[in-house]
Structure 1
Amino acid sequence: MLREAVSNMLKLYSSLHSRTDPRIRDYPLMQGPIQMTTILLAYIVLSVYIGPRLMANRKPFRLNTAMIVYNLSMVLLNGYIVYEFLMSGWGTTYTWRCDLIDTSESPQTFRMVRVAWLFYFSKFIELIDTVFFVLRKKQNQITFLHVFHHSFMPWTWWWGVTLTPVGGMGSFHALVNSTVHVIMYFYYGLSAAGPRFQKYLWWKKYMTAIQLTQFVLVSIHISQYYFMEKCDYQVPLWIHLIWMYGVFFFLLFSNFWIQAYIKGKRLPTTEDKPKQNGSANEPIAVVSNGKHLENGSAHRHTNGKILLGKVKEI
């Protein structure tokens, strides 16, 4: 039984290796699913079990400088990814409708391969988000959905980049997501800089609206596939998965908007001030590679009493 299982695993591995697009095969973390799966499993164990236990009897670290550098570096990285997506197709040759997977070996094709891999690799860099939570003892922020999306997103993108590194219309959501990340990490960089930057954070209440717009754009774009008379996109499975992902998160963030800003009447006021630790008083919902973040804790003072409403990141 064991020998048969091992044999089947080796056959699957060999099949995946043979189907790996030769244009992406030599890139880091692209030689097979074992390496990247091991990294993600280690991330789950460290963030959920080992990390919190190591920090249990220690004081939280103050990581403002590191967070500023990290967030602003992510702004630059995602800005570069957006630029490369535009220059390698979305701003040059793509029609924004039924754009097929490019199987050629033109310079522009290899440019798309590189940026598709870079987007994939950036998801591993974003695991540092959770490291900051652990070191700052923000364990309530490390929820199931937070860990799930941080690990599930790079895992699924490995399969997409392996089989279709020049994804055509299937890569539009990566362009949009990277654009939103430029805004999101810029906000967090300013927030981590402390109260003196509070006056520059008046637009935090619009972050959820930006996220909702992202999901609408992705869902509308990918939905074209179902209404076109003919679209021979080579891997329709990617189309269906992207559509489900966009709709799911649109519903999730719509519910957040209703609960936080309509029923809860939690719209930010002029009394709101960001904390030194980089979190903001009022919750905002943002997504990093598909993860749902509600930033910080909410504090209000009423008749000398402090009302504390914690919000979580998932």
Structure 2
Amino acid sequence: MNESALSGLYDFERRFDDRRAQEWMQANWTKSFVFCGVYATFVFVGQHLMRSRPKLNLRRPLALWSLSLAVFSVIGAFRTGAYMFHILTSSGFKESVCDNNFYNSPLTKFWAFAFTLSKAPELGDTVFIVLRKQRLIFLHWYHHITVLLYTWYTYKDQVAGGGWFMCMNYSVHALMYSYYTARAAGLWVPRPLAMVVTTCQILQMLIGLLIQGLVYHWIHEVHCPSQVENIMWGFLLYLSYLVLFALFFYDSYLRGGKRAKTE
């Protein structure tokens, strides 16, 4: 990146050891299955145990939890967004898709690794749903499990398309967790905002499918490194998310179904 972009770097971003982070992920990415196993056990056992117990009032902890994830996502969206904007304006759309320097650029290397790790603590969203005895839909826990597995699996290989995926997810989560924070804090939030959040999630899935298709189309080019296996899993996951989020939107806002937390 140019000097003007790098001049805005924070010291912790500049000093972050991305090589060591990648080595750690290559050696430990399979631990994501352990996290998901414990998480899935909690989902089913936790709901069973809470059936005969009163729901817990965790409004304040939930507000603080959502606020911390909102702040993290907002900062991550700004930092990764600055990088993606630079690539788009200086090198074009194709380079933004095929670029894999996102994982080791001074501006984004910390945020790429932080994003990847964050998918483990984000499982904590479900703890609040279970302990507060709210409706836990399939989309919620399926999405959490598969995103964690795919994100850790992808980071270890640092394939093309990652910049788009992370930047989009940071941005959507910035809006989503801000919305959850306001709700948990007891603030009045207009219903159309919930529709906006879900619409942004659906849009993210559509763009994700497009990016996966373009990476597959350009995979044999020198500067578009990826693997067919990774693209296949990514495409199937994005397609499943698109279907599930679209059904959620229809049930929640068009058919008059109950509102539910999706992520």
Following the alignment from structure 2 to structure 1, what is the Cα–Cα distance between the partners of residues 226 and 219?
A: 17
Quote the offset at 1:259 in angstroms: 4.4
Aligned to 1:82: 77
Quote the offset at 1:119 in angstroms: 0.8
Quote the offset at 1:83 in angstroms: 2.2
Residues 209-259 of structure 1: CA distance to partner in whole angstroms, max 9, x if unpaired? 222222222233443345559733221333343333333322333334444
More strand by share: 1
Aligned to 2:141: 147
**Bigger CA radius of gyration:** 1
Following the alignment from structure 1 to structure 2, what is the Cα–Cα distance between the partners of residues 79 and 202?
A: 21
SS in 2 for 1:97: helix
Kindly indicate whether the alpha-carbon contact (under 8 Å) linking 1:24 and 1:113 is maintained by their aligned counterparts in 2. Answer: no
SS in 1 for 2:57: coil
Aligned to 1:113: 109
Kindly indicate whether the alpha-carbon contact (under 8 Å) linking 1:208 and 1:253 is maintained by their aligned counterparts in 2. Answer: yes
Kindly indicate whether the alpha-carbon contact (under 8 Å) linking 2:195 and 2:253 is maintained by their aligned counterparts in 1. Answer: no
Identity of aligned residues (%): 21
Following the alignment from structure 1 to structure 2, what is the Cα–Cα distance between the partners of residues 229 and 61?
A: 50
Higher relative contact order (CA 8 A, sep 6+): 2
| Counterpart check, 1:235 vs 2:226 | yes
Which 5+ residue runs of structure 2 have no aligned equivalent?
Answer: 1-17
Following the alignment from structure 2 to structure 1, what is the Cα–Cα distance between the partners of residues 38 and 217?
A: 42
Residues 277-305 of structure 1: CA distance to partner in whole angstroms, max 9, x if unpaired? xxxx952xxxxxxxxxx33xxxxxxxxxx
Aligned to 1:180: 172
Over the residues paired in the alignment, what is the CA RMSD in angstroms? 3.1
Distance of aligned partners of 1:172 and 1:207 in 2 relative to their CA distance in 1, 3 Å threshold: same
Specify which of 192, 200, 204 is matched with residue 210 of structure 1: 200
SS in 1 for 2:87: coil
Q: TM-score, normalised by structure 1?
A: 0.65
Quote the offset at 1:34 in angstroms: 4.8
Kindly indicate whether the alpha-carbon contact (under 8 Å) linking 1:180 and 1:211 is maintained by their aligned counterparts in 2. Answer: yes
Following the alignment from structure 1 to structure 2, what is the Cα–Cα distance between the partners of residues 59 and 127?
A: 22
Following the alignment from structure 2 to structure 1, what is the Cα–Cα distance between the partners of residues 102 and 193?
A: 42
Following the alignment from structure 1 to structure 2, what is the Cα–Cα distance between the partners of residues 136 and 260?
A: 20
Distance of aligned partners of 1:103 and 1:128 in 2 relative to their CA distance in 1, 3 Å threshold: closer
Q: TM-score, normalised by structure 2?
A: 0.76
Distance of aligned partners of 1:228 and 1:144 in 2 relative to their CA distance in 1, 3 Å threshold: closer
Alignment of 1:49-60 (within 5 A): 49=45, 51-60=46-55
Distance of aligned partners of 1:259 and 1:130 in 2 relative to their CA distance in 1, 3 Å threshold: closer
Q: When the two structures are aligned, how many residues end up with a matched partner?
A: 239
Kindly indicate whether the alpha-carbon contact (under 8 Å) linking 1:84 and 1:111 is maintained by their aligned counterparts in 2. Answer: yes
Aligned to 1:46: 42
SS in 2 for 1:126: helix
In structure 1, give the amino acid aligned to 2:238. G
Distance of aligned partners of 1:24 and 1:220 in 2 relative to their CA distance in 1, 3 Å threshold: same
In structure 1, give the amino acid aligned to 2:99. L
Distance of aligned partners of 1:124 and 1:225 in 2 relative to their CA distance in 1, 3 Å threshold: closer
More helix by share: 2
Kindly indicate whether the alpha-carbon contact (under 8 Å) linking 1:96 and 1:169 is maintained by their aligned counterparts in 2. Answer: no
SS in 1 for 2:105: helix
Residues 118-150 of structure 1: CA distance to partner in whole angstroms, max 9, x if unpaired? 111111121111110121123x41x44433322
Distance of aligned partners of 1:57 and 1:259 in 2 relative to their CA distance in 1, 3 Å threshold: closer
Aligned to 1:100: 99
Distance of aligned partners of 1:151 and 1:254 in 2 relative to their CA distance in 1, 3 Å threshold: closer
Which 5+ residue runs of structure 1 have no aligned equivalent?
Answer: 1-20, 267-280, 284-293, 296-312
Aligned to 1:255: 247
SS in 1 for 2:108: helix
Following the alignment from structure 2 to structure 1, what is the Cα–Cα distance between the partners of residues 102 and 183?
A: 44
Aligned to 2:6: none
SS in 1 for 2:55: coil
